[in-house]
């Protein structure tokens, strides 16, 4: 395990949340490393979507774990004098299988991100539905899996996040209010309603109690001008003196720094 906070302190040239050919990224790991070297990054961390028990075309298989870790090692040998390359995972929290599972604990990782991309269907608690993808799909799933109850979707997302935070087994909390993006496209303004705001604040309190690093995720900035958590919580995080990290969640090499400087300026 590495000391993440020492990497991000007084340093804006890093990204510790990125996807590649091992999940839904659109380029090979080496392409990302080359771009990070070109942009004079000091650190680049890979976080493929980890194996999960939910049905998912996005998450890597367990069989891919060794090739992934081998590729990190190979890239370190080639580029190690120019950049520090870190082996991470973005691990889904699903009831019964999450970041605290012994499988993940046994892996030689530098760090991991805990994220929620799936919540159970309102009809069947064993059917896990991806609520993280593009809005075009999300708006079809709300009636199909959640009886059109967008508030239930939001509350369930934050309940899953809170459980994940309580159970632990990871270092960084990924995009802690990501549901706000799709939910507010489904029902504009939902993420400014008092009950929603209370859910975010309660989650941030739980995260602070458990001493995680909080990710400011900038992936949606280029297209939607939105950060996760929403910038309206930056003041609260600053008051709490929360340990934060600015990650681009890049799926394309040209986006490894997208939104990061804008978020740092606002923070």
| Nearer residue to Zn ion within complex by CB, 130 or 249 | 249
Residues 6+ apart with CB under 8 A from 254: 35
Return the structure tokens found at 80.
């190690």
- Per CB under 5 A, the list member of 249, 257, 260, 263 interacting with Zn ion is 249
Q: Which of these segments, 78-86, 91-99, 200-208, 242-250, binds Zn ion (CB under 5 A)?
A: 242-250
To the nearest whole angstrom, how small is the minimum distance from the Cβ of residue 85 to Zn ion? 17
| Nearer residue to Zn ion within complex by CB, 184 or 247 | 247
| Nearer residue to Zn ion within complex by CB, 35 or 249 | 249
Q: What binding mask, one character per residue, do residues 74-93 give for Zn ion by CB under 5 A, x or -?
A: ----------------x---
| Nearer residue to Zn ion within complex by CB, 71 or 132 | 132
Q: Torsion angle of alpha carbons 222, 225, 227, 232, nearest 10°?
A: 160
Do 249 and 18 form a contact (C-beta atoms < 8 A)?
A: yes
To the nearest whole angstrom, how small is the minimum distance from the Cβ of residue 71 to Zn ion? 18
130 near Zn ion, rule: CB under 5 A: no
φ, ψ at 240 (rounded to 5°): -75, -10
3-state secondary structure of 236: helix
DSSP class of 229: S
- Number of residues binding to Zn ion, judged by CB under 5 A: 3
Closest CA to 227 of 255, 201, 246: 246
To the nearest whole angstrom, how small is the minimum distance from the Cβ of residue 83 to Zn ion? 20
To the nearest whole angstrom, how small is the minimum distance from the Cβ of residue 101 to Zn ion? 18
20 near Zn ion, rule: CB under 5 A: no
Closest CA to 248 of 258, 238, 239, 263: 258
Looking at residues 90 to 109 of the shown chain, list those that interact with Zn ion (rule: CB under 5 A). Answer: 90
| Nearer residue to Zn ion within complex by CB, 59 or 115 | 115
Looking at residues 49 to 78 of the shown chain, list those that interact with Zn ion (rule: CB under 5 A). Answer: none
φ, ψ at 24 (rounded to 5°): -110, 20
| Nearer residue to Zn ion within complex by CB, 177 or 249 | 249
| Nearer residue to Zn ion within complex by CB, 238 or 254 | 254
Q: How far is CA 103 from CA 2, 45, 52, 100, 177, in A?
A: 19, 20, 11, 8, 27
How many Cβ atoms are within 10 Å of 92's Cβ, its own excluded? 28
To the nearest whole angstrom, how small is the minimum distance from the Cβ of residue 235 to Zn ion? 24
115 near Zn ion, rule: CB under 5 A: yes
CA distance linking residue 70 with residue 78, whole number of Å: 13
Residue with tokens 């991100």: 113
Which chain residues interact with Zn ion by CB under 5 A? 90, 115, 249
């Amino acid at each position: 395990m590495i000391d993440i906070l020492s990497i991000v302190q007084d340093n804006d040239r890093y990204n510790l949340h990125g996807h590649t050919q091992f999940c839904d990224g659109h380029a090979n790991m080496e392409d990302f490393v080359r771009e990070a070297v070109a942009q004079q990054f000091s650190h680049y961390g890979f976080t493929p979507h980890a194996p999960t028990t939910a049905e998912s075309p996005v998450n890597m298989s367990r069989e891919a774990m060794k090739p992934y870790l081998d590729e990190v090692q190979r890239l370190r040998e080639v580029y190690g004098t120019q950049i520090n390359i870190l082996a991470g995972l973005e691990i889904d929290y699903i009831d019964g299988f999450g970041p605290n599972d012994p499988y993940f604990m046994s892996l030689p990782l530098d760090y991991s991100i805990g994220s929620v991309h799936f919540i159970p269907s309102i009809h069947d608690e064993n059917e896990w539905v991806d609520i993280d993808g593009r809005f075009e799909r999300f708006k079809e799933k709300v009636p199909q899996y959640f009886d059109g109850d967008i508030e239930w979707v939001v509350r369930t997302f934050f309940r899953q996040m809170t459980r994940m935070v309580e159970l632990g087994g990871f270092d960084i909390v990924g995009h802690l209010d990501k549901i706000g993006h799709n939910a507010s496209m489904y029902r504009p303004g939902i993420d400014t309603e008092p009950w929603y705001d209370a859910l975010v604040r309660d989650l941030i309190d739980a995260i602070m109690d458990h001493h995680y690093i909080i990710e400011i995720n900038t992936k949606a900035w280029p297209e939607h001008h939105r950060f996760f958590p929403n910038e309206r919580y930056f003041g609260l995080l600053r008051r709490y003196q929360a340990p934060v990290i600015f990650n681009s969640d890049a799926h394309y090499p040209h986006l490894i720094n997208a939104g990061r400087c804008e978020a740092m300026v606002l923070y």
